[in-house]
Chains A and B, each alone.
Chain A
Amino acid sequence: QQPVQSPQAVILREGEDAVINCSSSKALYSVHWYRQKHGEAPVFLMILLKGGEQKGHDKISASFNEKKQQSSLYLTASQLSYSGTYFCGSSGGSYIPTFGRGTSLIVHP
């Protein structure tokens, strides 16, 4: 079953922060985050495993609350290059993600 992402779309100005949420109705072993720019393939950002560990990737970080079956992606001081669609993927013990519908992020100058 697909995880649910919110919001569906975010529009920001450069330098602003954003949070993208991902929730699952099933127990999670891991959460995967990918970014896809228009007309390109998805690119891996990070994976979070059971344990609630917060990961970071430059100014993009994420948290994973396994009890609440939720993850959040934090984009700090957004850059134009952050524009794209962000997908979260939830997985069970196989660590094969089922992807959500995506959140479109547009960063304006």
Chain B
Amino acid sequence: DAGVIQSPRHEVTEMGQEVTLRCKPISGHDYLFWYRQTMMRGLELLIYFNNNVPIDDSGMPEDRFSAKMPNASFSTLKIQPSEPRDSAVYFCASSRDTYEQYFGPGTRLTVT
């Protein structure tokens, strides 16, 4: 299996622009997680899905953030409008159960 796939790997955008991050989980995995990693706050869980249904979005920082999972093989995390403090590495992870998560390579987002 190719592992978790994320795109783009790097994104540089200006403040106020919409940003869409994409994730393809490992086939057969029922759980999908979105994380944000910064030096200040570490690795934070933003939202997770089970069988395409959002289960817990309490980590989503603001209404500017939204996530969808239209089918078992695709998820998006959208930030609209983006702000400089959103700059971080965003990871998507998937798992068959909740025990062992497989992380994607991450998207490094820079908002200027």
Contact = CB atoms under 8 A, between A and B. Distances in A.
Contacts of A97: 45
Interface residues of B, number: 18
A96 B43 contact: no
Given A98-B45, A99-B42, A99-B43, A41 B100 contact: no
Contacts of A95: 97-99
Residue among A30, A44, A47, A91 with most chain B CB within 10 A: A44
A43 B43 CA distance: 13
Nearest to B43: A99
B106 A41 contact: yes
Given A41-B91, A42-B103, A96-B56, A2 B98 contact: no
Contact of B43 (A30, A42, A47, A94): A42
Nearest to B95: A44
Contacts of B91: 41-42
Nearest to B97: A95
Residue among A44, A96, A99 with most chain B CB within 10 A: A96
Contact of A44 (B42, B44, B102, B106): B102
A47 B100 contact: yes
Nearest to B98: A95
A100 B103 contact: no
B48 interface: yes
Residue among A41, A87, A100, A101 with most chain B CB within 10 A: A41
A89 to B, nearest CB: 9
B105 interface: yes
A33 to B, nearest CB: 11
14 contacts: A41-B91, A42-B91, A42-B103, A44-B100, A87-B43, A95-B98, A95-B99, A96-B45, A96-B98, A98-B45, A99-B44, A99-B45, A100-B42, A102-B42
Interface of B: 33, 42-45, 48, 56, 91, 97-106
